[in-house]
Structure formats: structure tokens, C-alpha cells
Amino acid sequence: GMSTASPTSQKPSNLTIEGKSYPADQWTNTPETILSHVGRRLYLDDNHPLAITRQLIESQFPTPIFGNYSEKTRLYHPGRSRTDTYYINEKTVLRTHTSAHQQAYFQQINRNEQTRPEEVGYTVIADVFRRDAIDRSHYPVFHQMEGAMLWKRPSKDPLAHSADTAAKITADLEKIPRHDVVVEDPNPTIHPQRNPLQAEHHSAEEVEAVATHLKRSLERMVIRIFTEASKAAAASTGTEVDPEPLKVRWVEAYFPFTSPSWELEVFWQGDWLEILGCGVIKQDLLISSDVPDRIGWAFGLGLERIAMLLFNIPDIRLFWSRDERFLSQFRAGHISRFEPFSKHPACYKDVAFWLPPAAVSGGSSAAGGAVPFHENDVMEIVRGIGGDLVEDVALIDEFTHPKTARKSMCYRINYRSLERTLTNEEANDMHDKVRSRLVGELGVQLR
Ligand code: FA5
Ligand code: MG
């Protein structure tokens, strides 16, 4: 039956991260279930698929040009919006992407100026935290690897020498083996509105060279992953080739610190899977990071997404599993095909509700101080109650009443454990709690 438990659990007065204590305040929105993931360092655990994946990618970005680093969990000043960020308190948030480290590494490159080659780069890996969707490829704690590569430009009036810089980068491009995989890339490198040239700082020729180098470097990384995955598949099934050919595409994107920008997607298990974002680094960032005479590219990839492709791991929740049936399948330096040990029945439950009158999604909070509706708040409530017992949450219906102008949403929640079969009672119990918290915390009216 309906749960009568109070929807708001007792809020702690302090939060502990990596052994340090931080005072909570009204901004605090990081639950203990998120903090419990801090410090696992899965990417350093040699037999874990994330560590194996990390090493494989790092081998694509070799020393001495690249330094490969990792970062412990660290706190940052708020950058992104509150709806997708876990706040510790008003002043501090859990990092939402590895790009938070860009400036520090660029400054490092400047400090090492005398000892490093003309072309220089780094990769850095870290755990990142986001209030986000719930499905097989999204998790609130995940790992990103960020990479950047920079070339020296003539320091006086670089634009006057941009042809030389372009030629240098193009020469480096020739060092990256070509490949014959057809990659969909329908858009021009530079688009005046959607993907503008930083005309004050770069010539179109330089940007073409940087973009081509970037794309070929990352395509080669994906092809390497795919080749290793295919070999593992062939070894496990005894067939020669993987039946699903590699399909990859470049999609225009926007990031505050690159222009032009792209995302790379791979077709996997019937859907396009976004694996990374990248672009030509904004020169203003390089200038403010003490490397004004360099030009280059940067990317940020989702390590779990790559590991899913590499090992054929169907659900992102598995990476956190302590189940031996999962962990025992991986061995340092060895690419294998994951054999699912179970698929328990799905338990779908829908919840439909009217938004409070003033809280149209994405709307302003001007009217009566009502909080605008954001889907991530629904996700967070479901995550808070179901945790890893929820596989997927999808918006299946949405409409605005023609007379009252009120908005209705319907979400379908799939309750499914990775480890066991849930009883209908358990699922009902969780669903009842979700329903009452939606009312209590978001002020919605159930339908
Ligand atoms: C970024 O985070 C940018 N900082 C990437 C970047 C770096 C762009 C440097 C330009 C230059 P985005 O939000 O798209 O971009 O995330 C990057 C990747 O992280 C995604 O492509 C995806 O592979 C992964 N990712 C994002 N959210 C999740 C999530 N909730 N769970 C698992 N992986 C995720
Ligand atoms: Mg993205």
C-alpha cells in the first residue's frame, strides 16, 4: 500500500569527501549514495574493465608527447547549472567534467616549456559527477578522460605565420596512419553561426589542419577499440569477423571552451552512442593559461562508454558491481567479451502527473517564485529511492491541456536489479515512494 514515510530524509550537517569535512547548507543536494562512490578509483584497479580501457586509450596517446595523469576526487567552484550539478554547499560542487583541469594542465605545459617538445599534450582521467538521466549509458558518477594537444606558433603575430603552423600540423597528421573506415561527417569544419572560426586568432587553414588532426586521432582510437573488441568477439564465438560493421559519425556540438566543436557517436546495439566531445581550443583560454603562443585541440570522453564498446558491457551500472560474476571476467591487459550472467525480468511502472501551474518546464521562476520543473529532479527522486534497482527512466508522454494550459508528463520507470529478481511488492513499494516524493518535493499532482 501507500508508503507513509516522510519524503524528506534527515539532512546531515556535514559532508565528508576524501577524509575532509564540509559544512552543508541550503545548497547541499549531494546524497550519501553519491558520496559512497568517492574513492573507489576503479581506473587504477588493474583488473577492472575501466583500468584496462584507460591503459588501451593511453597507449594511443604516447609519451613523450603526451603525459598521462589521473586526479583524485576534487571540489570546484560552481560552474554548471544547479539542475545537473551536485552541490556540497554554496561554494563547492563535485566536478562535473575533467575540463575543470584544463587551465592547470596548460599552465603546467608553460612551466615545462624548456624541456618539452614543440608538440605537447596530456591526458587526464578522473571521476565526475552529474545529476543526469537514468538509462544503460548514464550514471550519476562516471569517469572522463580529457586529452589535449598543442603546437607552438611563431610568437610574434601568429596570424601572419599561420600558413607555417598549418604546414607543421599537416606534417604531423601524416604520422598518424590513415584508415579506410567511412566516417559520416556531413558538415563543413567551420560554420559561421553553429561552429564559428575564432577569426581574431586563427586562420581557416590552421583550423582545418587542427580539426583534421583531431578527427583522425580520435577515429583511430575508436577503430583500435573496435578492432580489439572484434578480436575478442571472434575468440569467444570462433567466427572470423564481427557481424556488426563499425559505424561512426561526427556531429556538430557546442562547448564553452572550444570552437569549432564536435561530438563523436558510434552505432552500438541498435542506437547511436555518444562517446566524446571535442574541438579546437578557444585561444582566450590558452592566453589566460600562459600558453598564448600555442594552438591545439582537446577532447573529453566517457570512459564507461568506451569500455562498454570494448567489452560489450550492456549496462553502465555494472562497472560499480562488487559481484564476482562480473569482476572475475576481467584480467589486466586482456580484452574479452563480457558474458552476461543474468537478465532478470523487467518491471515497468508508469507515473503521470500535472506540473504545478507556474512550473512549466524550463520556464522562469518569476511567477510567484515557483521552482521551474527540471527532469533531473525527477531522476534524482527515483535514484534516491530505487538506486541501482532502476535500469531506466523514460518520458513516454507529454502534453499541455488546451483549456487550462497545464502541462502533463508521464514517465515509465523500469525497476530491474542486475543481481536478482525483484518481487512485485518491492517494485510497488518503491514506486509508491516515488509517487509521494514527486508530490512532496516537486508539488506535482498525480493523475
Ligand atoms: C563534456 O563534458 C566536455 N567537457 C567534453 C569536452 C572536453 C569538449 C574538451 C571539448 C573539449 P559532455 O557533457 O558531452 O562533454 O560529456 C563528455 C562525454 O562524457 C560524453 O560524450 C559521454 O561519453 C560521457 N558522459 C556524459 N554524461 C554521462 C553520464 N551521465 N554517464 C556516463 N557517461 C557520460
Ligand atoms: Mg555531450
Residues 278, 211 share a domain: yes
Q: What is the pLDDT of residues 139-194, one digit of tens each?
A: 999 999 999 999 999 988 899 999 999 999 999 999 999 999 999 999 999 999 99
pLDDT score, position 447: 95
94 within a domain of the structure (yes/no): no
175 within a domain of the structure (yes/no): yes
Q: Which domain holds residue 207?
A: 40-68+105-127+142-313
- 3-state per-residue secondary structure call for the chain: CCCCCCCCCCCCCEEEECCEEEECCCCCCCCHHHHCCCCCCHHHCCCCHHHHHHHHHHCCCCCCCEEEEEECCCEECCCCCHHHCCEEECCEEECCCHHHHHHHHHHHHHHCCCCCCCCEEEEEEEEEECCCCCECCECCEEEEEEEEEEEECCCCCHHHHHHHHHHHHHHHHCCCCCCCCCEECCCCCCECCCECCCCCCCCHHHHHHHHHHHHHHHHHHHHHHHHHHHHHHHHHHCCCCCCCCCCEEEEEEEECCEEEEEEEEEEECCEEEEEEEEEEECHHHHHHCCCCCEEEEEEEEEHHHHHHHHHCCCCHHHHHCCCHHHHCCCECCECCCCCCCCCCCCEEEEEEEECCCCCCCCCCCCHHHCCCCCHHHHHHHHHHHHHHHEEEEEEEEEEECCCCCCEEEEEEEEECCCCCCCCHHHHHHHHHHHHHHHHHHHCCEEC
pLDDT score, position 363: 47
84 within a domain of the structure (yes/no): no
Residues 276, 198 share a domain: yes
Distance 97 CA to ligand 1 centre (A): 7
Residues 386, 268 share a domain: no
Residues 266, 206 share a domain: yes
78 within a domain of the structure (yes/no): no
Q: Which of 293, 313, 333 is the last residue of a domain?
A: 313
Q: What percent of the chain clears pLDDT 70, i.e. is strictly above it?
A: 93
Point out the ligand 1 atom lying closest to the alpha carbon of residue 132. Answer: 30
Distance 35 CA to ligand 2 centre (A): 24
With the most atoms of ligand 1 within 8 angstroms of its CB, the residue from 102, 257, 274, 282 to mutate is 274
d(CA 156, CA 166): 16
Q: Mean pLDDT: which of 215-229, 241-255, 347-361 is highest?
A: 215-229
pLDDT band of residue 336 (cuts 50, 70, 90) is very high
Distance 276 CA to ligand 1 centre (A): 6
318 within a domain of the structure (yes/no): no
Residues 262, 398 share a domain: no
> Does 362 score more than 90 pLDDT?
no
pLDDT score, position 378: 98
Residues 111, 209 share a domain: yes
pLDDT band of residue 240 (cuts 50, 70, 90) is low
pLDDT score, position 371: 67
Q: What is the pLDDT of residues 372-387, one digit of tens each?
A: 899 999 999 999 999 9
pLDDT band of residue 227 (cuts 50, 70, 90) is very high
Point out the ligand 1 atom lying closest to the alpha carbon of residue 275. Answer: 23
Short-list 333, 284, 280, 277, CA closest to 300: 277
pLDDT score, position 113: 85
pLDDT band of residue 361 (cuts 50, 70, 90) is low
pLDDT score, position 370: 59
Q: What percent of the chain clears pLDDT 90, i.e. is strictly above it?
A: 85
pLDDT score, position 359: 61
Mean per-residue pLDDT, 345-370: 74
Q: Which of 296, 313, 330 is the last residue of a domain?
A: 313
Residues 150, 227 share a domain: yes
How would you classify residue 121: left for phi > 0, otherwise alpha for psi between -120 and 50, otherwise beta? Answer: beta
Supply the residue whose CA is at minimum distance from atom 2 of ligand 1.
97
pLDDT score, position 219: 98
pLDDT score, position 9: 54
pLDDT score, position 242: 54
pLDDT score, position 54: 97
d(CA 397, CA 351): 10
Supply the residue whose CA is at minimum distance from atom 19 of ligand 1.
302
Q: Which of 265, 289, 313 is the last residue of a domain?
A: 313
pLDDT score, position 82: 83
Give the number of whichever ligand sits closest to the CA of residue 97: 1
pTM of the model: 0.93
Q: What is the pLDDT of residues 266-321, one digit of tens each?
A: 999 999 999 999 999 999 999 999 999 999 999 999 999 999 999 999 999 999 99
* Residue whose grid cell is 487550462: 404
Residues 257, 113 share a domain: yes
Q: What is the pLDDT of residues 398-438, one digit of tens each?
A: 999 999 999 999 999 999 999 999 999 999 999 999 999 99
pLDDT score, position 4: 38
Point out the ligand 1 atom lying closest to the alpha carbon of residue 264. Answer: 21
Give the number of whichever ligand sits closest to the CA of residue 123: 1
What Cα–Cα distance (Å) separates residue 126 from each residue in 59, 97, 302, 383?
17, 8, 10, 22
With the most atoms of ligand 1 within 8 angstroms of its CB, the residue from 135, 144, 283 to mutate is 144
> Does 63 score more than 90 pLDDT?
no
Residues 252, 195 share a domain: yes
157 within a domain of the structure (yes/no): yes
Point out the ligand 1 atom lying closest to the alpha carbon of residue 96. Answer: 2
pLDDT score, position 372: 84
- CATH number of residue 277's parent domain: 3.30.930
287 within a domain of the structure (yes/no): yes
Distance 263 CA to ligand 2 centre (A): 7
Residues 279, 376 share a domain: no
| Surface-to-core class of residue 8, CB atoms within 10 Å of its CB (0-12 exposed, 13-18 middle, 19+ buried) | exposed
Q: Report the chain's mean pLDDT, rounded to a whole number.
A: 92
Distance 436 CA to ligand 1 centre (A): 33
Q: Is the dihedral of CA 283, 286, 288, 291 positive or negative?
A: negative
> Does 225 score more than 90 pLDDT?
yes
Number of compact structural domains in the chain: 2
> Does 364 score more than 70 pLDDT?
no
Residues 296, 153 share a domain: yes
Residues 351, 202 share a domain: no
Give the number of whichever ligand sits closest to the CA of residue 138: 1
- CATH number of residue 371's parent domain: 3.30.70.380
Q: What is the pLDDT of residues 94-140, one digit of tens each?
A: 999 999 999 999 999 999 988 887 889 999 999 999 999 999 999 99
Short-list 344, 319, 436, 411, CA closest to 53: 319
Q: Which comes out higher in pLDDT, residue 280 or 75? A: 280
Give the pocket of ligand 1 (CB within 6 Å). Answer: 97, 99, 130, 132, 138-139, 142, 144, 146, 255, 258, 261, 274-279, 298-302, 304-305, 316
Distance 72 CA to ligand 1 centre (A): 18
217 within a domain of the structure (yes/no): yes
Distance 442 CA to ligand 2 centre (A): 27
